[in-house]
Every structure is written in structure tokens, then in C-alpha cells.
Amino acid sequence: MLHLRVISPADRTDRVCAVLEECPGVANLVVLPGAARRPAGDLVMGDVARESADEIIEALQELDVDHDGSISLDDTDVTVSDAADEAERRAPGHGDDAVIWEELDERTIEDTRLTWAFVVFLALATQLAGIAALTDSPILVVGAMVLGPEFGAIAAICFGVVFRDVRRIGRALGTLTVGFAVAIAVTYVCALVSRWIGVIELHQLPASRPLTQFIYTPDRWSFVVALLAGAAGVLSLTAGKSSALVGVFISVTTVPAAGNLAVAMALRHWSEIDGSVLQLLVNLAGMLLAGTLTLLVQRGVWHIARKRQTAVRARTT
């Protein structure tokens, strides 16, 4: 269940309450007249089944409550209430499958911003991947994958394509481009300095690396894995299963390919540069394609479910 809090202008509170009362996925409705001060209005609260949240948000937006008041939803870890259990049972579908498009919208907007944290995490992950390339360490490759923050920007591009938001696509592409450029440059400089002071030598990047060779030798499986990871990543975001993102990070080799590229350039192993670049591009393309298709399918399925729910409700009233 989610906890809904609405600040409603006094002249629209009755209509807000009507929207909530008509929805089968709402329970424990509370109205506090005149409780809100900035913006001024009435405070309306209730518990909402996740699968009904998107419908309610749309209905409240049609009343312009998002402009003249406020709409917020918070996760509720525990709700001990027979009324809430009944509302969750009556709501169509399953909560884990529900998509709250406004939540995904807000999240992907955040992920398009080029922040210091994004650049630093990506640079650190790329340097870990560079060390993994030098030592042929799959453990460090996994660490670099988990640390890399790039999937959020990839998901933002998928969202932008589905909803034709060109500005969001442009910002996310800029964030990815600048982030990877800075991360590769930092790793390249670190590797170059390490070579100059004797920490690593030109021959230290092994010609044969059976444990990490996959990060610079892409094949058809690289694209298949990227497709699966892109679909799983978007599903984990839309369903609120953020823990599944760890598995997504471990399965793709964008950051390891970037780290190998930087070290290969610093140590003049030109034969691995093309493969590293191709691996990076293959992973990005696969995740973008799968993520976009996943969002399109989810949007279509929930549109059909919403139409059926409306038809059933109309027949019962």
C-alpha cells in the first residue's frame, strides 16, 4: 500500500474526495478541512493500492490539484487494516506489476542531471575496471559494474523515447557522454602516470586474459545479455524492485569496457581499443532497445487493463 497526501483547494475538496471514494483501491480516507497553510487548502489523506495509484494521480491532475495544491505518495512498509487489505484485493492486477508513470517520470528527470556524484562514481568504477584489466580479476570487474551509475540515464532515454520527450533524451545523452568521457580521461591519466613512475609497465596488460577477455571481445551474446539486462532494469524501476538493479549492473559491461579502453590507450595496446569501444556501444544499444520496448509493452498492457476496469465499473454502477 501507498500513503496518499493531497493538499486540495477548498473549492475542489468534494471532487477530490469523490475521485478517491469511487476508486476501489482506496481505503482509510481522512479529510482535515483548512489544515494546509502553504498552499492553503484542505488536507486529504488515505491508503492507496499501488495498482490504483496511476489512475488516481491522473484524475487529480485533471482537477489541477497538482498546480493549485499538492499530490504526494509514500511507500508504507506495514499497514494493519482490514479496509486496506480489502482495497488491495479489489484493485485490478498486482502491486508488483503496477507502473506509476509519474514516479518514473520524476525519477528519470533526476537521472538526466549531470552531477558531481554521477561523475565521481563513474570515474571510480572505471578505474576499478582498469585495475581489473591489468590483473585479470573478475571480482574487480563485478565491483566496477555494481558501482557504475549509468543505468539511470539509460532508463531516462528509454522514457524519453516512449513519451517523445526530446529534451530528456538530449540531457540524458549529454550526461552519459560527458560522464564516460571524464571517467575514461581520468583513468587514462592515472594509468599514464602509473606507467611513468614505474607502477605498471607497457607489457602489464596481458595479451591473454581468460577471465576478463569478454570486456573487449564482444559477440552475439554480449548483445543478448544487454537486451536482457535492459528489460530487467526497467522492470525493476517500474515495479519498485530496486534490489534487482544489482543483478542488472553485474550483467552488463559498459563500465569495464570503458576502463579497459582507458588502460589500453595508456599502455599502447591498440588491438584492444576497437573491441572495448564496440563492447561499450553494443551494451548501450542493447539496453536502450530492450528498455524502450519494455516500457512500450507495459504502457500498452496497463492501458488495456485500465479500459477494462472502467468498463467493469460502469456496468456495476
Write the pLDDT tens digit of every residue in 19-71: 999 888 999 999 999 999 999 999 999 999 988 888 899 999 999 999 999 99
**What's the pLDDT band for 261 if we cut at 50, 70, 90?**
very high
Written as nine digits, the cell of 101 is 508513470
Q: Which residues are bridge partners to 47 per DSSP?
A: 3, 27
User: What residue segments make up the domains of the chain, in order of their start?
Assistant: 2-98, 104-302
Question: Mean pLDDT, to the nearest integer, of 2-20?
Answer: 94
Worst-scoring range by mean pLDDT, 5-14, 107-116, 210-219, 247-256?
A: 247-256
How long a stretch of residues is the chain? 317
Selected residue with higher pLDDT from 63 and 209? 63
Model pLDDT, residue 245 = 56
Model pLDDT, residue 311 = 64
- Tell me which residue of 279, 299, 282, 285 sits closest to 154, measured CA to CA: 285
Q: Are 147 and 130 in contact (CB under 8 A)?
A: no
Instruction: Reply yes or no: is the peptide bond before residue 39 cis, omega within 30 of 0.
Output: yes
What φ, ψ does residue 97 adopt, rounded to 5°? -90, -10
- Which residue pairs from 116-122 have beta carbons closer than 8 angstroms and sit at least 24 positions apart in sequence? 117/149, 118/149, 118/153, 118/175, 118/179, 119/178, 119/179, 119/182, 119/183, 121/147, 121/148, 121/149, 122/148, 122/149, 122/150, 122/179, 122/180, 122/182, 122/183, 122/255
Q: What is the pLDDT of residues 98-150, one digit of tens each?
A: 788 888 898 889 888 999 999 999 999 999 999 998 888 888 988 888 888 89
CATH of 2-98, one of 3.30.540.10, 3.40.50.720, 3.30.70.120, 3.10.20.30: 3.30.70.120
What φ, ψ does residue 26 adopt, rounded to 5°? -115, 140
Written as nine digits, the cell of 44 is 486529504
